[in-house]
Amino acid sequence: MSSVLAVPIDEARDHLQGATDAPITLVEYGDYECPFCGQAFPLVKELQRELATQMRFIYRQLPLTQLHPHAGRAAYAAEAAGLQGKFWQMHDLLYDNQGSLYDASLVMYGDVIGLNLQQFVKDMESPEVAERVTADFLGGIRSGVNGTPCFFVNGRRYDGPYTYSGLRQALTDASGVQV
């Protein structure tokens, strides 16, 4: 059964941090209400700090809406913020506030990061944003996502522990391999 990233990185579409030509690509499929994704959030930041220009990080939506009732709306909020060029600001606020992902909170976060709120709320309800999240979700499923968070290092699913050292080792091992 495949555990290889099925959807290639698309710089025009993906939410990407870091140099586009970095030798190491880390993709995360995540759920804003998942506590394990919450624990991974500072680990990713630390890896980004340490690996700097060596790594680019892509985040894609995989809300487990049956398990986490607010995860779907939170994903919509992040993508709607992205339409106004502020995906990462919203992304960070969501993971910093996993206990407050109610609709009123999402609007407040939009206000905090300076979004046009009328447009934000409209975009959150739009078919485009819903389709984007669904496309991320299905792409993740087809890539062999087996839980959240799910990391792909240079296109291969990471099956190690969600620890700093585990991820760091996988990224180091991958640094000589191009996918």
Using DSSP's 3-state secondary structure scheme, residue 37 falls into helix
Longest dimension (CA), the chain: 47
Amino acid identity at 160 = G
Q: How far is the CB of 68 from other proteins (least distance, A)?
A: 8
Token pair, residue 104, equals: 């009123």
Rounded Cα distance, 100 and 74, in Å: 10
When asked if residue 61 is in the footprint of other proteins (CB under 8 A), the reply is no
Range in contact with other proteins (rule: CB under 8 A) among 15-23, 27-35, 78-86, 119-127: 27-35
Q: Considering only residues 34-53, where is the footprint of other proteins by CB under 8 A?
A: 34-36
Nearest of 92, 86, 75 to residue 114 by alpha carbon: 86
Range in contact with other proteins (rule: CB under 8 A) among 1-9, 77-85, 86-94, 102-110: 1-9
Range in contact with other proteins (rule: CB under 8 A) among 7-15, 32-40, 104-112, 113-121: 32-40
Q: Considering only residues 121-140, where is the footprint of other proteins by CB under 8 A?
A: 137-138
Q: Do the strands 24-30 and 55-61 form a parallel or antiparallel pair, or are they unpaired?
A: parallel
When asked if residue 141 is in the footprint of other proteins (CB under 8 A), the reply is yes
Half-sphere exposure of 172 (CA within 13 A, CB side): 7
Give the residue, chosen from 28, 31, 79, 123, that forms a contact with other proteins under the rule CB under 8 A.
31
> Which residues are at the interface with other proteins (CB under 8 A)?
1-3, 6, 31, 34-36, 64-68, 137-138, 141-150, 159
